Structure 1
């Protein structure tokens, strides 16, 4: 096992905000780190290795131990239900999960359909509402589904609401607020507890 503490991080907005947080916590990450196109970046002087991945894959890497720790959105953790410890709310990349659709339209009474890339979250939410729906899993352009008649509603991440508005959709219900969380592999937490606890302590002081 490597002495480097391996961190899985999603590319994009979370990566930018997480790197800023790590720097505030005193980790010296090189300037070229921000613009690198590499998928694995070692920072040996800090004892760190970074794996850059799709947001949905972070918790998977941590669960299977190829990463010791990770930074993942709460939306991913709710959807994936991976065997990881959630140690800290980093309070970055705020957004929320919501139900949306075309304005002034009712759900189909016979076979209501909901398109989403969060099938588990959506199914659980509508079950709690006492509604039986057909979930249609999509991987991108979720807003398109109600426009072309594929679904009555969508469940998706909302940040500013601009994308919904630009596509003529309205928000119907808010499901859950989402921020990024610091997660840990249970085995790594036993073996590298000192490194991990130190990182949690340093991050918690700047959150």
Structure 2
């Protein structure tokens, strides 16, 4: 009986001692299995990522080819637009006005006209200016101005008499045709804007001098009166 009890106690002791080891071994096997499963899952995910990366790279290469094709087509389109613009009619001259009117010794009047071109002024070959008396429908005396490549251009017309009311008409031209007309009406008389400006300035200065002298004279008279009274 005692031997049986001793045997049972020994078995219990062995189970108590080796149970943690057995459980650890079992846990280790479970851990090894989960790691293997995780590695397998990671390998599968890596394979999927590699496939997706290959697809993205192929699509990127396709997009890059499309971008190159679009860039090539855009270059052709720009060349076509440039070619078409070279054959497009220019814009009409703007700010068409008189620069000066001068009288010659023979009694004729020469008119200097001034105008401003649009942004396409580099495509203009020349300008044509026509003139007619106000009320007439037929323009004559065409004058060609070849001052190209400038934003501000001037041209002269001569042969007018004092008092004439003239309508001027100007076109810008190139190989494609001519622009819309720009009109200007003017009465022929001696006209020099710079000279008139200086005359106005001198008139104002002279008026100020006269007013200042008058005020100074009045002040001096008052001072003399006050001196006599004191």
* Common fold: TM-score over 0.5: no
Higher helix share: 2
TM-score by length of 2: 0.17
If the length of structure 1 is used for normalisation, what is the TM-score?
0.19
Determine which structure has greater relative contact order: mean sequence separation of CA pairs < 8 Å that are 6+ residues apart, divided by chain length. Answer: 1
